[in-house]
Amino acid sequence: MPAIDSFPEVDTPSVMVDKDVLLTNIEKMSSFARNHGVHLRPHVKAHKTVEIAKIQREMGANGLCVAKLDEAEAMAAVGFSDILVAYELVGQQKLERLLYLTEKVSITVLVDSIPAAKALSQAATSRSKVIPCLIEVDSGLGRTGVPPGKPALELALSLLKYPGLKLKGLLTHAGHAYAARNRSELELIGRGEAEALLSTAALLRQAGIGSAVLSVGSTPTVRISGAVTGINEIRPGNYVFNDATQVALGVARREDCALSVLTTVISRPTPDRIVIDAGGKTLALDRGAHGISQLPGYGLVKNHQGFVIERLSEEHGIVSLPPESPVTVGDRLEVIPNHACPVVNLTDTLYVHENHRVVNQWRVTARGGVR
């Protein structure tokens, strides 16, 4: 069965957003935050789009989280005034931009090293500023962040010596949850995410250092770590859209996926192979988030059992299918991508639809903003 109505007004490949599903996803996370009394600070990297950030705010988000200053600048330009840059800012150009932003909005940054803290402190004091910061703690992802406990305490004690920095608390991101093989592994990682911060905060408390902010969250773990008493901020990003990775993890159902790629069958060279006009430039090359390879293809073809997107070249998607399938050249298919975040970063426009009609086009405001 081709995609319903196939959105004839839209050329392919295009990135589509189902507005009802998007609003439901946003509302569900907002009510989780309300029910658990935690601040919701959604991560903008998932959508990079002002219209979606505004909906998140209208539905109760308390601030925004970004990875890049480009994203922070795009959101500050339209009036978002409380932004966490959940990324280690290193380098003179970035510090200049950060200081400029602090003139307009409240910005908090991450610190996980002495050299970065020192440079931040020098930049802040040169302009008589105080920059709020969080220490990033590594709860198992093995990316940035100091180990929980003593190393984090040692960094906190050092930070107190640097003028121009105000230590507000601790942050962690359990991205390793994307490798969880079942629900109990996910539970374990989510609880570990919260515990890494709570145990570190207790140690800091003994040393007389407060941690007003304890910030956790990835879409797979947020309902676990965000429900632990003492945690007071969550930063999910991908939840606005969900994707094939969240479906594989059991965190979302196919019908919870708001984002899809509309694509056209451009060739059927053999009965068991079609080629679609969405390749790596549209679907992105992820086989799962964080480079974790666990998915059978490059996305889920909606409404078509047995279709597997086996390979991608830049502009082609090579799909195996049951030979008896009636799909033909010119048909349109909808694909739920493996990882929605990079897909959004590869397109200028999101086609927003309601009741199978395109009702809006949203510009991906901070698309390509990698600095």
> What is the CB-side half-sphere exposure of residue 82 using CA atoms within 13 A?
8
Tokens 């911060």, located at residue:
197
Q: How far is the CB of 170 from ligand PLP (least distance, A)?
A: 12
Q: Which two tokens stand for residue 226?
A: 């965000």
- The answer to the question of residue 236 lying near ligand PLP (CB under 6 A) is yes
Report CA Rg, the chain: 22
Question: Contact with ligand PLP (CB under 6 A): which of 47, 68, 235, 304?
Answer: 235
- 237 sits near ligand PLP (criterion: CB under 6 A): yes
Which residue spans within the chain are E strands per DSSP?
14-18, 39-40, 64-66, 82-88, 106-111, 131-136, 165-171, 213-216, 233-234, 259-270, 273-276, 300-301, 308-312, 317-320, 332-336, 349-354, 357-363
> Residue 218 Cβ, how far from ligand PLP at the closest point, in Å?
3
One of 217, 279, 297, 317 touching ligand PLP (CB under 6 A): 217
When binding is defined by CB under 6 A, the residue of 61, 76, 85, 86 that contacts ligand PLP is 86
Q: Does 56 bind ligand PLP (CB under 6 A)?
A: no
Phi-psi group of 150: left, alpha or beta (phi > 0 → left; psi -120 to 50 → alpha; rest → beta): alpha
> Which of the stretches 90-98, 217-225, 251-259, 301-309 binds ligand PLP when contact is defined by CB under 6 A?
217-225
Candidate ranges 94-102, 201-209, 216-224, 261-269; the one touching ligand PLP (CB under 6 A): 216-224
Query: Does position 335 bind ligand PLP by CB under 6 A?
Result: no
CA 366, CA 64: separation in Å to the nearest integer? 14
CA–CA dist 6, 263 (Å, integer): 9
Range 149-178, binding ligand PLP (CB under 6 A): 173, 175
Binding mask 173-212 for ligand PLP (x = CB under 6 A): x-x-------------------------------------
Determine the residue with CB nearest ligand PLP.
237
In contact, 54 and 33? CB cutoff 8 Å: no
Give dist(CA 65, CA 48) in Å, integer: 11
Which is nearer to ligand PLP, 121 or 238 (by Cβ)? Answer: 238
Question: Least separation, in Å, of the C-beta of 224 and ligand PLP?
Answer: 13
List contacts with ligand PLP (CB under 6 A): 43, 46, 86, 173, 175, 217-219, 235-239
